[in-house]
A and B are shown apart, each in its own frame.
Chain A
Amino acid sequence: MYKKFILFFTCILLVYVCSAAADIGELNASEDQDFQGLDEDIQVLKEEVLELNRDLYILEEELLYPSSTQVAVYVSVDVGDFFDLDSVQVTLNEKIVANYLYTEREVDALLRGGVHQIYIGNLPSGEHELVAYFVGKGPKGRDFKRGANRIIDKGLGAKYLELKITDRTPKHQPDFVVKEWE
């Protein structure tokens, strides 16, 4: 009785499922044709909009931050065992130019090697003072705030600065360094 029921149940079910699937298959084959080429159109459009945004990004940078006056400041984290980053404040010539609070997702991206552009602006050539404050949790989860400063000599080309947070393993302390890039 049980086996008979199962067999019967299987047959009935398969018949219905197959017939339904066949009906739908026929229906879909014709309807799906209407959307042929849509994936291709989407890919082409995405590429074109990306290229457009690339050109706009370059244009914007050249217009707003010409290389002769451009100064960009980046934040990077190396290892991060002794410091959990919360926020960074950047001052240029005693004026606060950036104040950034990091999300968990952003800190994760930094720990994996990502570099965050925290500030981009313009400065005339000559000497300028950059001061950065790092706020977070230090060793043993204590509140931690440290500063790093550097006198930068802005020449005729763009100036890139990296605020590096590294671990000083022998002292079990984090280290904060301002590095100049050419």
Chain B
Amino acid sequence: MNVFKAKANLAFCICVLSLCSAVSFANIEQPNIIKDLHYGEVLFHFYQEDYFTSIVHLLAARDLNRTTNHVPDDELLLGGIDLSYGLHKEASRIFDRLLQGNVRDAIKNRAYYYLAKIYYQRGYIDESADFLSNVSGPVQESVFGELKLLTGQVYMAQGKYDAAISSLDKWKAPKNYKNYADYNLGIAYTKRGNVDKGIEHLKKVGKLKAKTETMRTLRDRANLASGLTLIQNDRPADAIKYLEKVRLEGLYSNLALLGIGWANTNAKKHSAALAPLQELRNRSAYHSEVQEGVLALAHAYNEMGLLGRAVQAYEQAADIYQEEAKELAYSANQIEQGVLVDALLDRTKGGPQMGWFWTLRDLPELPEVKYFTELLAEHEFHEALKNFRDLLFLKKNLAHWDENISIYLTMLDTRKARYHKYLPLVQQRLNGLDLSKLQAQQDSISFVLNEIENDNAFMQLATAEEKRKLAEISQLEQRLELLKLQEPENNKIAQMSEKIALMRGIMHWQIYSAYIERSWNHKQEVSEIEKHLSITPEKSVSIKRAITESVEKFDEFEARILALHKEIKRLIPIANRVFEEQSRYLEHVAVKELNHREKILTGYEKHARYQLASAYDAAASSTIPGADENNPEDAQPEKSKKWWKLW
């Protein structure tokens, strides 16, 4: 097996393993029918991957018995969110507790699934398989697809490819799982040795019309897996067809380019290997594929007999490795000086990135930290950075509460002051409250209203204004009567009397017209009074209770606020310490990775120099090197010209 085959094998394994992380717990649908609003509110945050808020709200809702209609789903959900938030120990405890309880099979199956997932992700494959074997009976539809995929992955991780094939092949996967199922099935078949059948499944994924980046990446991965498999099976010409379908800008482009280079080399088509390897050479030398590609390019020239070019390429490779190793050492040194942590803290000051939604993909490039993007692709660094982000959020959360909790004490003081200010007035009113007197008044009003209705005494409901006008009319009538006695023949007085009589009639008509509405309104008001009077005893009891309980409540709130502030004060130094340690750990992981790359590069450089010496020897024992190299691009750079002068 050559180097590339070894690498292909490794990449092949990565292709299998990395699929399981494509689906997060937030993708698992919870019960559709919401029986408690607060449970639904938790889901709202959970589905947005705001795990911190969803856990806080769920813990509070459970404490306040607001999710009783979702027991034990609420506990299962809590375990799932804990997992998403990296609390795998707490999640394990929750699922274990659930399984020991008397819960229905569907809940148990979900718990077993989650536990299997935790153990699988942490590399405990056999334990994961044990949990999966406990799944029996009905499984929630939304979990079923995840369960099937995980089962296939666990079988494959155990090397049980027949079992994986049997499990996945019989499954009629729904649309959203079909591509993942086909991909895994393809891998299982190829690992089992049935390459053509495996390629058949991978081909389906490799052809899919992807609308999202996730699907485009999956398509690339399928084509890459097909290509690598075919190289392993000495079918380089077929491999190239698949590798060429991998996007040039995607995650897997480096490996695909290297694959095309090596496939052509294996097929002795060295000139065809040049283009992909030259493209690879122009990329960041941090990536191992690029590093290998530079050597492979020199090797291709060597194989083509273009010794001059080979020497030049080996020289270039050695220089690149040397330069890159220096850069790596410099970057590692910079990171040790705290540049990485400082840059991260600087980028996350204020703005939306400050909150929970600061995701790693949103993180801007850090020009002060070289290879940052490359480091992000490393699992250990990625995990360390996630914890760094979480701790930064916790620190800010604690600082926020430390600063703001005193507002609650101020609020409490204001309430106390209001309480003492209004207490005498309230007590005075309560003491003066004579319910029987009020009831008697209300009875009397009701009686009068009934009397008016029975007697049709609409004038009783005249307004004050109407009564005033009627009184004025009466006065005018009296004065006119007196004038009539003095001047009985005066026509004007008679006309005036008629007008006044008309005005009285209009007033009566108005009052009569409004009577029904007024009567109804009065009855409504009496009914309102009745309603208020009926709840007054209850309210007065509740007010009296509130008066006595308020002081106790004020004291209780104050004690709670002070206790919580004490807890905040206790946690702040712990958070600071853990954050500092995590920062050092983040730096350590980064430096470790960079040092590792530097050592590899140093090795590559030595090898390139050795090959360079060998090429010199070969050239010395042959005719003038590169005499038949008629490629116009073969202009020798400054360094190589020095080599030519040696001859």
Contacts and interface: CB of A to CB of B under 8 A. Distances in A.
Given A9-B299, A113-B34, A17 B603 contact: yes
A54 B52 CA distance: 10
B68 to A, nearest CB: 12
B89 A28 contact: no
Given A63-B411, A74-B37, A24 B596 contact: yes
B31 A113 contact: yes
Given A42-B578, A54-B60, A74-B37, A24 B557 contact: no
B606 interface: yes
Contacts of A50: 52, 55-56, 59
A53 B397 contact: yes
Contacts of A143: none
Nearest to A116: B44
Interface in B485-532: none
Contacts of B31: 113
A151 to B, nearest CB: 16
A13 B411 CA distance: 70
Interface string B283-322: 0000000000001000100110000000000000000000
B398 A63 contact: no
Contacts of A55: 560, 564, 567
Nearest to B57: A57
Contacts of A26: none
A105 interface: yes
A170 B516 CA distance: 46
A156 B542 contact: yes
Contacts of A17: 600, 603
Contacts of B2: 6, 9-10
Nearest to B398: A49
B534 to A, nearest CB: 14
Main secondary structure of the interface of B (DSSP, over half): helix
A87 B178 CA distance: 35
A24 B568 contact: no
B103 interface: no
B599 A49 contact: no
A108 interface: yes
A32 B581 CA distance: 12
A16 interface: yes
Interface stretch (B241-249, B252-260, B386-394, B450-458): B386-394
A109 B596 contact: no
Contact of A181 (B37, B299, B405): B37
A139 B602 CA distance: 65
A109 B43 contact: yes
Nearest to A117: B41
B426 interface: no
B138 interface: no
A76 B40 contact: yes
Contacts of B52: 50, 53
Nearest to B563: A55
Contacts of B401: 52, 56
Contact of B578 (A45, A115, A116): A45
Interface in A72-131: 72, 74, 76, 105-106, 108-110, 112-117
B634 interface: no
A112 B47 contact: yes
A38 B41 contact: no
Given A43-B86, A51-B59, A16 B303 contact: no
A52 B564 contact: yes
Main secondary structure of the interface of A (DSSP, over half): helix
Contacts of A32: 588
Contact of A42 (B63, B397, B582): B582
Nearest to A22: B599
A28 B575 contact: no
Given A35-B588, A43-B86, A109-B47, A115 B37 contact: yes
A112 B584 CA distance: 40
Interface residues of B, number: 74
Contacts of A31: 588, 592
A69 to B, nearest CB: 12
B48 A109 contact: yes
Contacts of A76: 34, 40
Given A13-B607, A35-B588, A108-B47, A21 B56 contact: no
B403 to A, nearest CB: 13
A103 to B, nearest CB: 9
A19 B568 CA distance: 49
Given A16-B603, A54-B56, A56-B401, A6 B3 contact: yes
Contacts of B6: 10
Contact of B63 (A15, A58, A110): A58
Interface string A24-51: 1001100110110011011101111111
A49 B603 contact: no
A38 B86 CA distance: 13
B297 to A, nearest CB: 13
A74 B41 contact: yes
A32 B588 CA distance: 9
B585 interface: yes
B324 to A, nearest CB: 14
A72 to B, nearest CB: 8
Contacts of B547: none
Nearest to B85: A46
B604 interface: yes
Given A31-B588, A112-B43, A13 B3 contact: yes
Interface of A: 2, 5-6, 9-10, 12-13, 15-17, 19-21, 23-24, 27-28, 31-32, 34-35, 38-39, 41-43, 45-63, 72, 74, 76, 105-106, 108-110, 112-117, 156, 160, 162, 181
Give me the 10 closest cross-chain CB pairs, A-B, nearest first.
Answer: A16-B603, A115-B40, A114-B44, A20-B599, A109-B47, A54-B59, A114-B43, A53-B56, A35-B585, A57-B60
5 contacts: A24-B596, A47-B87, A47-B90, A74-B40, A115-B41
